[in-house]
Structure 1
Amino acid sequence: MNEVSIRPPCVLGRSIVDRAFLADPYPTYRALREAGPLHWSEEFFGGAWLLTRHQDVETVLRDARFSAKRTGGWVNDLEHERGELSRFQRLFGRALLFLDSPDHSRLRNLMQSAFRPDALTRLRPEIERIADELLDSLNGVGPFDFIAQVARPLPVRVISHILGIVGADTEEVTIWSDDLADFIGAPTPTREQACRAQSSLLAMTRFLQDQLETKRTARGDDLLSALLLQRERGTLHDDAELLAQCAMLLFAGHETTRNLLGNGMQALLSHTEQWQLLVKDPNLVPDAVREILRYDSPVQYTGRRVISDLLFHGQLLRRGELVLPLIGAANRDPARHADPEELDVRRTDRGTLSFGSGPHVCLGAALTRIEADVVFRQMLARWPDLRLASAEPQWFANPAYRGLKTLSLRPAM
C-alpha cells in the first residue's frame, strides 16, 4: 500500500469523547490542533478524519469535493436494521442539510425568502413580544431554569410562527428534536438511538401533515403555505421531500437557538466582567452574540463524505471516507483569533464558523442571532445583577450539539 494511504492513529492515544470532553471539549481540540491538521479516529461512525484548524475547516465546508450526502452511511451501517429504518432514511436523506447541488440549491431557494433581512425585520416585533411574555412570567419568582423557561419555548414559538404552525407543544417538539439531535450527534449511533430518532421524525411529520392539510384550504402568509404551493407546482418533487424540509426547519429552528441562548448566558455570567460591559453598553450585544458563537458554538462539528480520492495535507483520503470539520476547534484557532481561549465581547477579529460556510451556511443564521439579541437585551435590562445559581453546568452528552440541560439563574431581589 502506498505510504500516504496509511491512516495514522489519533495522536491522543485515548478516547476523545469521554466525560471530560463532553464537559469541556476545548483542551482536547487544542491538543489535536497543536499535534497536526488531520487525525484519524475510529470513534466516529466507524472511522473519520478530524480537521481542527480554521483554514482547513472552512476549505472543506466550501469545497465541492466533500459531499454533504452522508445519511446513508449512518442508517445502512446498522445492517440488521435496514428494513426497519427504511422510512427514516427516505425522509432523513431528503432534508436540505444532507443534500448537494443541484437539489440543495433548488430547495434552499424555495425557503430562503422567509429568512431574508426584510422578512426578519418584520418578524422582530413578534420575537420581542414572545420574549416579553416569557420573561414577564419570571418576575418575582426567585431562581429559575433559563433553559426550561426561556431557551426551549422561545425558538419553538418563533419557528412555529414562521412556518404558520398552530398549536405546537413545546415539550413535544423538544422531545422530537432531542431524539434527532441524539442520533445525529452520536459518534457511533446505536440501534436504540436510530429507532428513537425514526419514531420522533415520523411523529413530527404526522403533526406537520395535519398542519399542511389545514393549509390546503386556508392558506396564509407563512412558510408552510409557500412550500405547499411549490409542491403543487412540482418544484418540490413529492410529499416526502416537502415533509423532510418542514421537519428539518422545525428541528433546526429549535435546536441551535436553544443551545446558543443557554451557552451564551452560561458564558456571560461565568465572566461577570463581560456581562457588566453589556449592562453598561447594550449596543455591544450583537458583537457579544458573535463572540459567544465563536467561544462556545452550539454546533461543534459537521460531516462530509469524500467524493473521490484526493490528497489533503499529504494524506490520501479515500472515496466515501468521512471527514469531520471540528467547528469548535476551528473557532479557537490562534492562527485566526488572538487569545482564542478568552471570551471578549469587544473582539474585532471576527469570523466564526458556527453557522458553517459556503453553500451550506445555515439558512436561519440571521434569525438565530436576532433571537439571541432580543433575549440578551431584555435580560440585561430586567436583571443587570443576574447571577448563576449553580456553579456546575450540566451538559448534554452530545459531542456535536453542545448545550445545557438546565441553567439555574438568580435575579437580584
Structure 2
Amino acid sequence: MSAAVVATRTDLPAACRPIVDAAFLSDPYPAYRELREAGPIHWSEEFFGGAWLLTRHEDVESVLRDPLYSARRTGGWVMRGSEVARQELCPFQRLFSRAMLFLDAPDHTRLRQVLNAGFRPATLRASTAAIERMVAGLMDKLDGVAEFDFMEELARPLPARVIERLLAMDGVEQQDFLAWSEDLAAFIGAPDPDSGLKRRAQSSLLKMCAAFEELLARRRAQAADLPDSAGDDLIAHLLHAEASGKVESGAEMLAQCAMLLFAGHETTRNLLGNGLQALLSHPEQWRQLRQTPDLLPNALRELLRYESPVQYTGRRVTKDLVLHGCRLRRGELVVPLIGAANRDPARYRDPDRLDITRREGSHLSFGHGPHVCIGAALTLLEAEIAFRALLARWPELELVDAEPRWTGNPVYRGLASLRVHRRG
C-alpha cells in the first residue's frame, strides 16, 4: 500500500479464515507469523465485533505506552447485545469498568500510587521466607510420589496462597475464589463472549465482591477497635487510602480488591506451568539450568518471552489517526498481539528457539508503559523461588505426556494439566 493511500477497515479484504481456531489454541505462533509476514496491521471481525490487530514488537510496545490508545474498553465488551442484556449486565459493568486495569490517567495513576505500596521491594523481600515455606510445604506433600500433575499440586495453589497472604483474606475459601477467577478468565479470554459467559462472569464477580465486602467490614471494625492494628497487607493500604479520600468506597474499592485477587495468581500460575513445560520439552535447556542455576533470572525472562502467559490485550483509539496507511477511527478497538511481538524476528534472533542465555532486551509479557503489570516483581519472585526448589529437589523431572494440554483460553495461555515424573 502506498504511503499516500489511506485505507479504512471497510477497504480491507475479509480474513480468509478465523484466527482463533483449534490450531491457534494449541499453538498460536504459526498464525502470528502468518499475520506478521502479511503486514503490521489487520482488521478482524472476530475480536469483540471488530478490531485492529497489531503483530510487530515496535508497534505493540508503542501502543501500550501511548495515551492516544485508551485502556477504557469494557463498555463495548460487556454491554454488546440487546437492551435487555445490557440492563441485566449493568452490575457487572459498574464493577468491571472501575478496576485500575481499565482506567486511564488520572484515575489509573491515583490508584496505582495507592497499590504500589503493597509491592515495594522491601515488602516483597519480607515475603520471601513465607513463599519459600509455601513451596517447601507443597513439595513435601509429594514425597514418595513419582508421578503427579504439576499444575494441580504446585502451579495452581502456590500463587493462590501468596495472594491470600498479601490480601490477608481470612474467611474466604480458596476453592471459591479460584472458581470465580476461572469464570472471569473465561470471559476475558473469549474473543467475543456470549451471553452465557457474561452472566457467569457477572455472577462470579458479584460473589467475589460480596466476600470482599464482608472482609472489608471486618477490617474497618477491627481498625476502629484497635487503631494500631492496621497491618501492611494490600487491604490495609486500600483502607488507609479510602480513609484519606484516595480511593472511593463502594464499587471502586471492591473493583481493586477483585482485580488484585484475580490477577494475583492467573499470570503466575501460567508462568510456572508454561515455563516448566518449555524447559522439560527442551531437555538441553533444563540440563543447562541445572548445571548453572545462576541463569535462572535470565531464564525466567526468556520463558516469559517464549510462552507468554498473556497473549494479547486491548486499547480504544481516542481520536482519528493513521497507522501503517490505515485510518483508525476514534473508539475503534486495537488488539496488540503480545505473543506475536515476543516472537518478532525484527526484535529477536531466531525467535522461535528457546534460549535461556538470550540477552536481547525485555519481553512484553508484563505489558509496557503506564499499565505495566503492577505485580510483575511478585510473579518473578514466586517463579524464582519455585524453580530454584525444583532444580534443587527434583532435578530429574521429566514430562509424562509428549503433547501439552492447554486450557484453550486464547488470552491467558496456560496448561490444563502438566503431568511430570520424578526419577530418583
TM-score class normalised by the smaller sequence? over 0.9
Tell me if the contact between 2:118 and 2:232 (Cα under 8 Å) persists in the aligned partners: no
Residue 296 of structure 2 corresponds to 285
Residue 21 of structure 2 corresponds to 18
1:155 to 153, 159, 162: 159
SS of the residue 1:204 aligns to? helix
2:325 to 297, 314, 320: 314
Is 2:136 the partner of 1:132?
Answer: yes
Q: Distance in 2 between matches of 1:32 and 1:69?
A: 26
SS of the residue 2:87 aligns to? coil
SS of the residue 2:7 aligns to? helix
Stretch moving more, 228-237 or 174-183: 228-237
Q: CA deviation at 1:292?
A: 0.5
Q: Distance in 2 between matches of 1:393 and 1:26?
A: 15
Q: CA deviation at 1:11?
A: 7.7
- Against the structure 1 CA distance between its residues 3 and 235, is the aligned structure 2 distance closer, same or farther, given a 3 Å change threshold? closer
1:263 to 274, 277, 286: 274
- Give the TM-score of the pair, scaled to structure 1: 0.97
Residue 369 of structure 1 corresponds to 380
- Against the structure 1 CA distance between its residues 406 and 9, is the aligned structure 2 distance closer, same or farther, given a 3 Å change threshold? farther
Q: CA deviation at 1:383?
A: 0.9
Note the 1:33-182 alignment, pairs <5 A. 33-79=36-82, 80-182=84-186
Q: CA deviation at 1:157?
A: 0.8
Note the 1:141-290 alignment, pairs <5 A. 141-218=145-222, 219-290=230-301
- Structure 1 runs of 4+ with >3 Å offset: 6-12
- Against the structure 1 CA distance between its residues 120 and 299, is the aligned structure 2 distance closer, same or farther, given a 3 Å change threshold? same
- Against the structure 1 CA distance between its residues 10 and 337, is the aligned structure 2 distance closer, same or farther, given a 3 Å change threshold? farther
Q: CA deviation at 1:126?
A: 1.0
Q: CA deviation at 1:3?
A: 5.1
Residue 400 of structure 1 corresponds to 411
Q: Distance in 1 between matches of 2:15 and 2:130?
A: 48
Q: CA deviation at 1:376?
A: 0.6
Q: Deviations over 1:38-65 (max 9, x none)?
A: 0011100011000000000000001100
Q: CA deviation at 1:110?
A: 0.3
Tell me if the contact between 2:118 and 2:237 (Cα under 8 Å) persists in the aligned partners: no
- Against the structure 1 CA distance between its residues 332 and 266, is the aligned structure 2 distance closer, same or farther, given a 3 Å change threshold? same
Q: Deviations over 1:200-258 (max 9, x none)?
A: 10111111112112211333221102211211222112311000000000000011111
Q: Deviations over 1:281-303 (max 9, x none)?
A: 11111111100100000000000
Q: CA deviation at 1:346?
A: 0.5
**Structure 2 segments unaligned to the other structure (5+ residues):** 223-229
Residue 227 of structure 2 corresponds to none
Tell me if the contact between 1:212 and 1:225 (Cα under 8 Å) persists in the aligned partners: no
- Against the structure 1 CA distance between its residues 57 and 391, is the aligned structure 2 distance closer, same or farther, given a 3 Å change threshold? same
SS of the residue 1:342 aligns to? coil
**Structure 1 segments unaligned to the other structure (5+ residues):** none
Q: Which amino acid aligns with 1:41?
A: S
- Give the TM-score of the pair, scaled to structure 2: 0.95
Q: Which amino acid aligns with 2:73?
A: R
Residue 225 of structure 2 corresponds to none
- Against the structure 1 CA distance between its residues 185 and 124, is the aligned structure 2 distance closer, same or farther, given a 3 Å change threshold? same
Q: Deviations over 1:265-312 (max 9, x none)?
A: 110000010011111111111111100100000000000000110000
Is 2:337 the partner of 1:348?
Answer: no
Q: Distance in 2 between matches of 1:201 and 1:376?
A: 32
Q: Which amino acid aligns with 1:66?
A: Y
Residue 27 of structure 1 corresponds to 30
Q: Which amino acid aligns with 2:157?
A: P
Q: Distance in 2 between matches of 1:361 and 1:8?
A: 34
Residue 226 of structure 2 corresponds to none
Residue 389 of structure 1 corresponds to 400
- Against the structure 1 CA distance between its residues 318 and 170, is the aligned structure 2 distance closer, same or farther, given a 3 Å change threshold? same
Q: CA deviation at 1:106?
A: 0.2
Q: CA deviation at 1:75?
A: 1.5
Aligned residue-pair number:
412
Tell me if the contact between 2:366 and 2:372 (Cα under 8 Å) persists in the aligned partners: yes
Residue 342 of structure 2 corresponds to 331
Q: Which amino acid aligns with 2:50?
A: G
Q: Which amino acid aligns with 1:384?
A: P
Q: Distance in 2 between matches of 1:6 and 1:306?
A: 14
Q: CA deviation at 1:12?
A: 5.6
Tell me if the contact between 1:11 and 1:39 (Cα under 8 Å) persists in the aligned partners: no
SS of the residue 2:170 aligns to? coil
Q: CA deviation at 1:8?
A: 5.1
